[in-house]
Amino acid sequence: MSRPLVRAVGVARRYGDVVALAPTDVELVPGETVALVGPNGAGKSTLLALLAGALEPSEGAVDVQARVGWVPQRPAHYARLSARENLELFAQLEGVGEPRVAAQQLLDRFALPGEDRPSGELSVGNRQRLNVALSLLGEPQVLLLDEPTAALDPGQRRRVWDVVNALRGEGGAVCFATQNLEEIDHADRVLVLLDGRVVTSSPEEVFG
Amino acid sequence: MLRRSPLLLAALLAYPIVIALLVGLVAGYASAKPRVAFVDEDGLPPVVTVAGHSFHIRSVVDQVAKEVTLVRLGPDEASRELASGKVVATITVPPGFVGKLLTTVRTPSLILRTGSGGLAPRVTQQVQALVYRLNNKLQQGYISANLVFVRLLLHGGAGSFLGRHFDVLGLDGTQKLLEGVPPSKRVAAIQRFVRVARVGLAQTGAALHATAHPIALAQPKQKGRTWVLSAQVQSYGIALTVTFLALLLAAGAAAAEQEEGTLGRLRRGLASPGQLVWSKVALASVVGLGLGAAIAVLFGIVAEAGGVSGGEPWARLPLLFAGVLLAAAVVGAAGTLLGALAREPRTASLLAVLVVLPVVFLGLVPRGALAAAWWVSELLPFSHAVRFIGAALYDTSPWRAVGTQALWLAGLGAVYWFLARRGMRTLAG
């Protein structure tokens, strides 16, 4: 079996007395796509943020052996900067060799507006596309996507799944959270979460 | 919501009370002692003996310190501080003051110079009161000296005046001489004059006691800075602007990154909590420096245009800029901490405004008004920024004051930076 690109052992997150995620073990191996399914508040976003390193675990550890791209549930970019400026800024921070070129490529790939309009004024769909585009800076081997198609039109959804499938084909790993049961067809494996724990129930049982 | 947030409820109840107390304290400052420079160019001896009467002139002068804060300064320093508004008036004892006083026939002058501030009339009254007290004390010596001459005129004898010695026959001697002269109309007229003169001179002592003002108060016109351009206003103006701006900016920036979700992105190995704090501190410093510099330059231009003297509006700008930069950085670190605690830009802005007001009021409370408030103020950057800026602009030798305040600011900055770093870690995590 391939060495995991991301491995979480007993990773948990608590906010005071509230358990957002009970100790959980997760592995992402090359060439696989994992779907996280569960109702609101099940712990999907928390688990993805922990795997992405955006959140510190209350206990347990996450071992990452690859470059990781993260698409948070809420678009995360500087609202006063344009889409291009956001891409260039984060490309620089990611240490991308030619930030301008990388930014332009992603603008073209996701059909994002290249003018100087602040990204905070973009439509919800465009902001989500920018959110996805930002996760691809630095050519990650692992993609962690938190409901990535929630605000996208069918064409843009297809584009996202193309990205996912391409990465998997190149030996990368993808983990995405969704509440759309149709999307689990894109996954090789499904993890069902309920009340902060991975359960053995089927997605249909969890959603009732 | 308030029931679920007892801390918020307590803060909402306590805040107006604290602000009211601080406003009261600061308002009380208006009735506090004004700062007056005392320049002794004559080297006043501890004791002055006028016509055989000794009195402690310094103790009389010190009595005025009950009404004002007397600061003994050299002439140049006093002029400089008056021009910059750090003292509201100067009282100068000019050279030869005591010498003139001892002659008992010449009137020496104390020189009072006041600035153009609102406290000047009050200080003039205080100094007039001082001169009145001095005159009262001197009156006894002067009267005694004058009565010596009156007694000489009455009874005759040896005397001296301005170093010249002489013998006087006196009215008693004159009357005795006239008794030996054959009577005539002329002799009778002289005898009448002598009697009347003796009666009149006998009343002189009482008359002298009734009126005596040996010292006049001269008040030459002084072209100092108006209250608006005074050192206090300039220091407080720059420090207040920088504090308000840097706190608001850093708090807003930290909270905005949290709200926009970019903090989570950055924390994924792109920036450490320390770097996140530094970025806010740098933002606050650069913007604070820009605005502080603009205000300082504006003050300088207005001072030049008004032809007012005092201070170093241009030569000390680099030192001033260093102070503004340091103050903005320290406040920026505090603002980052607030932003991390607030988590949301609007809350952060409100929190920053709520924090700035008491911080500034605490900085305005004089030490004598409430020691506890003064000490709390010492743990906040505002009062140190004010002192740094004031010293940088107006002190003759600013290095000691500037160094002390810079150390305070650096120490406070380190504490705020550490707390803000923890706050950013918590916020992101």
* CA-based nearest residue in chain A for residue B269: A53
- pTM value is 0.67
User: What 3-state DSSP class applies to B254?
Assistant: helix
pLDDT (tens digit, 9 = 90+) per residue, B372-393? Answer: 777 888 888 988 998 898 888 8
pLDDT at residue B227 is higher than 70: no
In this predicted structure, what is the pLDDT of residue B52?
Answer: 65
Would you say residue B61 has pLDDT above 60?
yes
Mean pLDDT of chain A: 89
Q: A63 CA to chain B: closest CA distance, Å?
A: 13
pLDDT in tens, A124-153: 888 988 999 999 998 899 999 999 888 788
Residue ranges of domains in chain A: 1-66+141-208, 78-139
Residue B15 pLDDT > 70 = no
- Mean pLDDT (whole number) for B58-71: 70
Residue B24 has pLDDT above 70, yes or no: no
**Closest by Cβ to B260, choosing from A54, A55, A77:** A77
Average pLDDT (A2-31) is 91
Nearest to B261 among A56, A68, A72 (CB): A72
Q: Residue A79 and residue B331: Cα distance in Å, rounded? A: 25
Q: Name the band, by pLDDT with cuts 50, 70 and 90, for residue B59.
A: confident
Residue B1 pLDDT > 50: no
pLDDT digits (tens, 9 = 90+) for B139-186: 766 777 777 778 888 888 887 776 678 888 888 888 888 888 888 888
In this predicted structure, what is the pLDDT of residue B310?
Answer: 57
Report the pLDDT value the prediction gives residue B300, as an integer from 0 to 100.
79
Nearest CA in chain A to B258: A76
Look-up of token digits 């902001």: A127
Q: Tell me the per-residue pLDDT of B254-288, one tens digit each, with 9 for 90 and over.
A: 888 888 888 888 888 888 889 999 999 999 999 99
Mean pLDDT of the region B71-89: 82
Task: Please give the pLDDT value at position A106.
Answer: 92
Give the Cα separation of A137 and A68 in Å (integer): 10
By DSSP bridging, strand A59-64 and strand A197-199 are unpaired
**Can you tell me whether residue B106 is helix, strand or coil?**
coil
Q: How many CB pairs under 8 A join A and B?
A: 44
Alpha helix locations (H) across A110-208? 124-135, 154-169, 203-207
- The CA R_g of chain A, rounded to the nearest whole Å, is 17
Q: pLDDT band at residue B231, thresholds of 50, 70 and 90?
A: low
What is the longest distance spanned by two Cα atoms in chain B? 129
Q: What is the pLDDT of residue B221?
A: 62
Is residue B400's pLDDT more than 70? yes
Q: Which fold has domain A1-66+141-208?
A: Rossmann fold (3.40.50)
Q: How do strand B53-55 and strand B48-50 relate by DSSP bridges?
A: antiparallel
Q: What is the 3-state secondary structure (H, E, C) of B282-314?
A: HHHHHHHHHHHHHHHHHHHHHHHHHCCCCCCCC
With tokens 């799944």, the residue in question is A161
- Give the per-residue pLDDT at A48: 94
Give the distance from residue A16's alpha carbon to the nearest chain B alpha carbon, in angstroms.
Answer: 12
Q: What is the pLDDT of residue A185?
A: 87
Predicted pLDDT of residue B12: 61
ipTM given for this complex:
0.84
What pLDDT score does A61 carry?
93
The band of B407, judged by pLDDT with boundaries at 50, 70 and 90, is: very high
Q: What is the mean pLDDT of chain B?
A: 79
Most A CBs within 10 Å: which of B265, B283, B427, as the mutation test of the A interface?
B265
Residue A202 in 3-state DSSP? coil
pLDDT over 70 percentage in chain A: 95
Higher pLDDT, B32 or B134: B134
Q: Whole-angstrom Cα distance, residue B401 to residue B191?
A: 77
pLDDT computed for residue A50 by the predictor = 93
Rounded to 10 degrees, the C-alpha dihedral B400/B401/B406/B407 comes to 70
Domain boundaries defined on chain B: 6-27+225-428, 32-223
The residue with tokens 């390193």 is A53
Q: Alpha carbon B3 to chain centroid distance?
A: 48
Reading the block at residue B394, the tokens are 């107006």
The pLDDT value given to residue B408: 95
Positive or negative: CA dihedral B200, B205, B207, B213 = positive
Dmax over CA atoms of chain A, in Å, equals 49
* Closest CB from A53, A77, A78 relative to B268: A53
* Residue A33 and residue A174 in contact, taking contact as beta carbons nearer than 8 Å: yes
Distance CA A151, CA A98 (A): 30
Token digits for B360? 């500034």
In whole angstroms, what is the distance from residue A94 CA to residue B146 CA?
96
The pLDDT of residue B8: 61
pLDDT of B71:
84
pLDDT at A117 over 90: no
Taking the C-alpha atoms of residue A97 and residue A83, their distance in angstroms, rounded to an integer, is 19
Residue A11 Cα, gap to closest chain B Cα (Å)? 14
For the segment A59-109, what is each residue's pLDDT rounded down to a tens digit? 999 999 999 999 998 889 999 899 999 999 999 998 888 999 999 999 998
Give chain B's radius of gyration (CA, Å): 34
User: Average pLDDT for residues B1-13, to the nearest whole number?
Assistant: 61
CA nearest B34: which of B59, B61, B71, B63? B71
pLDDT (average), residues B385-414: 89
Residue B331 in contact with partner chain A when CB distance is under 8 A: no
What is the pLDDT, as a whole number, of residue B2?
47
Q: Is residue A34 helix, strand or coil?
A: strand
Instruction: With CB atoms and an 8 Å threshold, state whether B265 touches A53.
Output: no
Per-residue confidence band for B60, with pLDDT thresholds at 50, 70 and 90: low
Confidence of residue B340 (pLDDT cuts 50, 70, 90): confident
